[in-house]
Amino acid sequence: MSGHSKWSTIKRQKEATDAKRGAAFTKLGNQIALSAKGGTDPSMNSALALAIEKAKAANMPLANIQRAIDRVKDKSAVALEEVMYEAYGPGSIGIIVEAATDNKNRTYPEVRTALTKNGGTMADPGSVAFQFTRKGVIRVKASGEDALLTILDCGAEDAVEEEGEMIVYTVANELAKVRQAIKDAELEIIDAELQYVPNSTIEISDPEVERKIMKIMDALDELDDVSNVHSNFDIAK
């Protein structure tokens, strides 16, 4: 199963840099606040537990994490909602943009501008999403056949080795269960989240198209309201 492209690596590097600047904390806080709508006890809310774990991995202060959780109890706070936009990018790639916003009238124009200024266009709902499947994706610090077999025994749907890590795919509603099983098997988990994984990828071999794609993905990812960007391109090696 493909879907992890050059963008995946660049995004991970970028997130590490963002975390040092504190720029990632807004996005992480929004994800925690949204997850907390399902309950503020992480032991009873697996989505919240995963969001907190990701925030801690980015060195987000505990006070910030707690404030994000408390937002769900604050009646005066503006309610956050999850929105999803579909788009096309250079090379006819499909793009899914997930956002957490307290004002859709602000977020939609920002996403549209980031797209149109960089060679992309908004797409009608459903015209891109069918090319993706919602899955759990877990990054595990492991390699080799033994680790792969252990991970598959934990209930993973699939796993591929990539740059010294295992990228593990699960059915969406089994992410927390598989993550816990991998943890119980004493393998180190780097992160775990739900993603839109492409059913197939479009290989990009033109360096200029690649440059344009990276520019549009970066522009979208830099928007404060955008929590995740998914696409179905892959860079030819």
CATH of the domain at 209: 3.30.70.980
Using a CB cutoff of 8 Å and minimum separation of 24, what contacts does 62-65 make?
A: 64/25, 64/29, 65/29, 65/32
Q: Do 125 and 206 fall within a single domain?
A: yes
Six-digit token string for 222: 């830099």
Q: Which residues contact 179 (CB under 8 A, 6 or more apart)?
A: 50, 136, 138, 170, 189, 192
92-101, 122-131, 183-192, 228-237: least confidently modelled range: 228-237
Residue 52 has pLDDT above 70, yes or no: yes
Residue ranges making up the domain that contains 157? 131-198
Region 66-87: mean pLDDT is 85
Task: Tell me how long the chain is.
Answer: 237
Residue 51 CB burial class (10 angstroms; 0-12, 13-18, ≥19): buried
Region 51-76: mean pLDDT is 86
pLDDT tens, residue by residue, 89-139: 999 999 999 999 989 999 999 999 999 999 999 999 999 999 999 999 999
Q: Do 150 and 48 fall within a single domain?
A: no
Region 202-217: mean pLDDT is 91
Give domain status of residue 76, yes or no: no
Q: Do 165 and 186 fall within a single domain?
A: yes
Rounded Cα distance, 109 and 99, in Å: 13
Per-residue model confidence (pLDDT) at position 135: 94
Nearest to 64 by CA among 28, 12, 110: 28
Give domain status of residue 138, yes or no: yes
Per-residue model confidence (pLDDT) at position 2: 43
What is the pLDDT confidence band of residue 191, given thresholds at 50, 70 and 90? confident
Mean pLDDT of the residues in the chain: 88
Per-residue model confidence (pLDDT) at position 3: 42
Q: Do 23 and 65 fall within a single domain?
A: yes
Picking from 70, 89, 106, the residue at the C-terminal end of a domain is 70
Q: Do 124 and 226 fall within a single domain?
A: yes
pLDDT tens, residue by residue, 8-31: 666 666 665 655 556 688 888 899
Picking from 70, 103, 119, the residue at the C-terminal end of a domain is 70
49: domain CATH number is 1.10.10.200
Q: Is 167 strand, coil or helix?
A: strand
Per-residue model confidence (pLDDT) at position 4: 45
Q: Do 141 and 183 fall within a single domain?
A: yes
Give domain status of residue 31, yes or no: yes
Give domain status of residue 75, yes or no: no
Q: Do 110 and 215 fall within a single domain?
A: yes
Give domain status of residue 176, yes or no: yes
Q: Do 54 and 146 fall within a single domain?
A: no
Rounded Cα distance, 230 and 96, in Å: 5
Q: Do 118 and 210 fall within a single domain?
A: yes
Please tell me the total count of domains within the chain.
3
Cα first-last separation, the chain: 17
Give the orientation angle of helix 24-35 with respect to helix 6-21, to 10 degrees.
100
Give the orientation angle of helix 24-35 with respect to helix 62-70, to 10 degrees.
40
Give domain status of residue 58, yes or no: yes
Per-residue model confidence (pLDDT) at position 139: 92
Residue 83 has pLDDT above 80, yes or no: yes
